[in-house]
Structure 1
Amino acid sequence: MKKEKKSLGLVFYVSAAIITVLVLIGAFLPAQFSAGANAAFGFTTESFGWLYLLAVFFFVLFLLFLALTRYGRVRLGGDDDRPEYPFFTWIGMLFSAGFGVGLVFWGIAEPMSHFFTSPEASTEPLTEQGARLAMAYSFFHWGISQWSVFAIVGLIIAYFQFRRKENGLISTSLSPLVKERSYKKPLNQTIDILAVIATVMGVATSVGLGVLQINGGLNSVFDVPNNGATQLIIMVVLTALFIISTTTGIDRGIKWLSNVNLGVALLLMLFVFFAGPTVFILETFVLGLGDYITNFVRYSLRLQPYQGGTWVNDWTIFYWAWAIAWSPFVGAFIARVSKGRTIREFIVGVLIVPPVIAILWIAVFGGTALHLDLFQGTNIAEAVNDDITSALFVTFNELPLSLVLSILAISLIFTFLITSADSATYIISSMTTTGGLNPPLIVRIIWGVLIGAITLVLLVAGENGLEALQTASLVSALPFTIILILMVYTLFRLLRKEFPAPPIRKAKKRSGE
């Protein structure tokens, strides 16, 4: 116990203090906090949106370059190391790092939002062409661009942690560049504190919004009151379960729940695929995939300097800022479960498989909702516009076995939230100690309680407090963008040094020449 207490250093105390102050402001002055957070985030996206777009596009190109060159054969660990987890379990763990629940939430909500309010002024909303554009942009936002950010951070941390046998802190990946080898140096501690603050605030708000969705589902299915008391009960149960899970470690709680999550998600998707408009879903998937590939560069670099408007800022740049702000947590967790894989295996697994599953999910669920509105006269898009948490359950009401589907969906959201909070607790504990593979149990329990308490306070304060804290966390995306670019440079320099290109052999002159 004494050793564990000594692990709690400056990063823990400073980040916990700053988070506490921000949460109290969000709870007691939600309107003022929201206005300040929105102003700060608006400034960063309007002034540096171009940087987010260029950076994410560059990350995609860099990862593809690594996968297709000799660097793809480099193993994240010793040359004789092999993957710790089977492929299915590994993919399930990737989704457990926070984005499985996001996909369940936005799988219908996003395409229907774009269908109701078109991404491009030249396309009429609530039309066939509007539906096509809505699916293309939904594919884009959940495709390889978002996952490239997590892959970059995960790859770099895994390289340092398993190949170079150093700790798993964000700051360590910059140590060759800034010449600060100790995680106790001021610059390194500042980087790690920033990572912890962004992670805790992002996780707390995501868990809170997930609780709101569960409450909305319970209200839709069982007529349970949609109020603070219900949300309080849900949050208390959720906190107890993910703290119990975090005490079991990655090889038990997260590993087992990740397999369950992925299995239930695939079962739910297959049922909707066959119960819904199957041919329409397949055609939507193929057409949307074609539109995504065809317009990838245009979507990746789209801004609105001539015609004005805020759609790109509100959606694409918001998504990229969200991914960058979350990248220390998601990337560190992906790194932790990826020991033994080659860089090529890692990039294919992280950059390709989750986006393919996400696109399939959106095609099935979003395509079903679009078909219902276009051809059966439902008003799902309007319902989503009024209450975005209702998207999944409004759609299920139009399908067979709607009660069973809703119960399965609520259960899936709940277990995704448990694994998200559990994995976040693990990574935050690692960030605030020494970046080791097994942070002290007492630290994990402390952060689990803190995340639960933060979310409870903000739920009591209302949605404004949650959304304000989420917006505030996204402000960290700007400095992290610079940090990620420097991390990429550091990794490339180390790879070139450790695995130089083979010398070019000069052809021998033939006799007589």
Structure 2
Amino acid sequence: MRMMPALQLFYRPALPMSDSSSPGPRDNPGLDRLSIGASLGFVVVFLVATALAGPKIADFIAAGFTWTAVNLGSVFEWLLIATFVIALGVAAGPAGSARIGGIERPELGTFQWLSIILCTLLAGGGVFFAAGEPVYHYLNTPPAFDNAPGTPEAVPHALAQSFMHWGFLAWAILGALTALVLARAHYDLGQPLRPRALLMDTLPKRWLAGPLGSLVDAICVIAVVAGTVGPIGFLATQVGYGLHVLVGTPEGLATQLVIVALLGLVYVTSAVTGITRGIQWLSRFNVILALVIAGVVFVFGPTRFLIQAWSESFGAYLSGFFTMATQSTLTASPGWLKWWTIFFFAWFIGYGPLMAIFVARISRGRTVRQMIVSVAVLAPLITTAWFTLLGGSGIHGQMTGAFDLTQPLAAFKFDVATLTVAQSLPGGTITALAVLVLTAIFVATTGDSMSYAISVVGAGHDNPPTWLRAFWGILMALMAAALLILGDGGIGVLQQFIVLTAIPVSLVLLPSLWAGPRAAMAMARDQKAAG
């Protein structure tokens, strides 16, 4: 039976796959002890400095955070915009038919592949903010709009602002052009699968083969460690609070540490067993659970309100796209921008190189068009639907007086907001527990994929040693636990540090604006010549 053209874009029977698919002996360059040591050194120095001089370190990072947001925020914005627009151009062009890795059939089935993408990119943060962020923007009008807060006119603008933060731009920077550059370098040219490969068209190869290349890799790893440890710590507080309210477990540090330990056990086990087993199984389970929760909310929740809210909000998102994406601290509120748009964009930039490694690894056998459309278009559309279901339900509850999140959100207590909204959903306590489980596993899928990707950077190939995967997974869990023990907002300080790491990482990502299209065209040219 012939398949519809739209389905043919995505469907390809999968091939059996092992965790090792390196094309040549140059793919196994040995451990990069310098980048591993530098990354580990950052963790030790940050924890010791926080323990000995926490307030001073916090003030220093906060000052750097503010300076970066005010002076470089527009640079981050345009990097994301350019990445998205150029990626769409590549997907629409003739090079879009080239296959990543030069093999005819993908190594992962379509549902498996999409599940891993959805559960890895933006997963933990997206679920953590999905319920509370739209309600916050409903109660506090974003600078791009002029509606009165807390009114029906505020609904589409609140969701549209959330779509901007977690939509097309955020996803594109995580695995569109950069994944093309890395896939070309690794699968076609036999280069180690490391962030430094993003600079191959910019810097001499002999430079990248030495300490400079190791430093580039270490900076990218540090950015991901900071970006992953934060959600682990926030999850511990959110789940600890949720279990206390729902089932009466003790609330406090001891419970949070147990949650971190259990979460670490889950994602380390997943990372150790590899992409084709643990990471795939965990992602597939979480997508199925998310679909069940979404179905319950859509069918038994305020269905008409949610449909209309998504339609109006997506229209507002598209019509106000460039206004929201290019807000300047000269005209908008600097305080608002640095804690919302600039913070999120910098967070995603920090994840960019290692997420690209992961996307390139799982997308072998997919066409360039399939990968870009899935990552930069399809996944953001699914994200907008998810934010509408949870955040739209939160707005509906706020509007109808079912609950009042004004004070918790004013204090940025998104754990309270998430639980309050979850309890109000159809199913009450059961649904709330399911949302907590979903959030925990989403963070775990980020933890396992990043433990794997960091290990790939250290090893230089896509089958890193098991002990290295376990080491990085355990280290991130221990860092989150240590920051929770130290208290005084250590996790929050680390989150602000993410914005500082976006400065050097943005320079690593910048060449992909021209190297990405060149990589796609080179793949297409080589495959045409070979065929």
TM-score for both structures, normalised by structure 1: 0.92
- 1:32-431 aligned at under 5 Å gives the runs 32-78=56-102, 80-97=103-120, 99-120=122-143, 122-151=146-175, 152-181=177-206, 184-306=209-331, 308-376=333-401, 378-386=403-411, 387-431=413-457
Matched residue SS, 1:358: helix
Separation in 2 of the partners of 1:163 and 1:242?
A: 31
Q: Is the 8 A contact 2:352 2:509 kept in 1?
A: no
- 1:115-141 alpha-carbon deviations (Å, 9 max, x no partner): 222113733222222222111111111
Structure 1 residues 493, 335: CA separation in 2 closer, same or farther (over 3 Å shift)?
closer
Give 1:383 deviation, angstroms. Answer: 3.4
Separation in 2 of the partners of 1:7 and 1:484?
A: 23
Separation in 2 of the partners of 1:417 and 1:286?
A: 29
Query: Which sits farther off after the overlay, 420-429 or 251-260?
Result: 420-429
Name stretches of at least 5 consecutive residues in structure 2 with no aligned partner.
1-27, 527-531
- 1:286-306 alpha-carbon deviations (Å, 9 max, x no partner): 001111111112222222414
Give 1:444 deviation, angstroms. Answer: 1.3
- 1:500-511 aligned at under 5 Å gives the runs none
1:24 aligns with 2:48: yes
Q: Is the 8 A contact 1:116 1:385 kept in 2?
A: no
Tell me which amino acid in the other structure corresponds to 1:267. V
Q: Is the 8 A contact 2:47 2:483 kept in 1?
A: yes
Match in the other structure for 1:509: none
* Structure 1 runs, 4 residues or longer, greater than 4 Å off: 494-501
Q: Is the 8 A contact 1:34 1:467 kept in 2?
A: no
Tell me which amino acid in the other structure corresponds to 2:62. N
Q: Is the 8 A contact 1:9 1:433 kept in 2?
A: no
Match in the other structure for 2:478: 453
- 1:23-53 alpha-carbon deviations (Å, 9 max, x no partner): 2223443322221111112111111111111
1:485 aligns with 2:513: no
Separation in 2 of the partners of 1:458 and 1:75?
A: 44
Separation in 2 of the partners of 1:306 and 1:155?
A: 36
Separation in 2 of the partners of 1:420 and 1:494?
A: 27
Give 1:177 deviation, angstroms. Answer: 2.4
Name stretches of at least 5 consecutive residues in structure 1 with no aligned partner.
502-513
Separation in 2 of the partners of 1:247 and 1:142?
A: 29
Structure 1 residues 335, 495: CA separation in 2 closer, same or farther (over 3 Å shift)?
closer
Matched residue SS, 1:118: coil
Query: Which sits farther off after the overlay, 279-288 or 225-234?
Result: 225-234
Tell me which amino acid in the other structure corresponds to 2:339. D
Structure 1 residues 400, 498: CA separation in 2 closer, same or farther (over 3 Å shift)?
closer
Tell me which amino acid in the other structure corresponds to 1:218. L
Structure 1 residues 406, 499: CA separation in 2 closer, same or farther (over 3 Å shift)?
closer
Match in the other structure for 1:507: none
Count of residue pairs the alignment pairs up: 496
Tell me which amino acid in the other structure corresponds to 1:280. F
Give 1:95 deviation, angstroms. Answer: 2.6
Structure 1 residues 249, 343: CA separation in 2 closer, same or farther (over 3 Å shift)?
same
Give 1:175 deviation, angstroms. Answer: 2.0
Separation in 2 of the partners of 1:489 and 1:181?
A: 21
- 1:322-363 alpha-carbon deviations (Å, 9 max, x no partner): 100111222221111111111111111111121111100111
Structure 1 residues 377, 416: CA separation in 2 closer, same or farther (over 3 Å shift)?
closer
Separation in 2 of the partners of 1:499 and 1:300?
A: 32
Structure 1 residues 495, 417: CA separation in 2 closer, same or farther (over 3 Å shift)?
closer
- 1:430-478 alpha-carbon deviations (Å, 9 max, x no partner): 11222x0100112112212211211110111126101111211321111
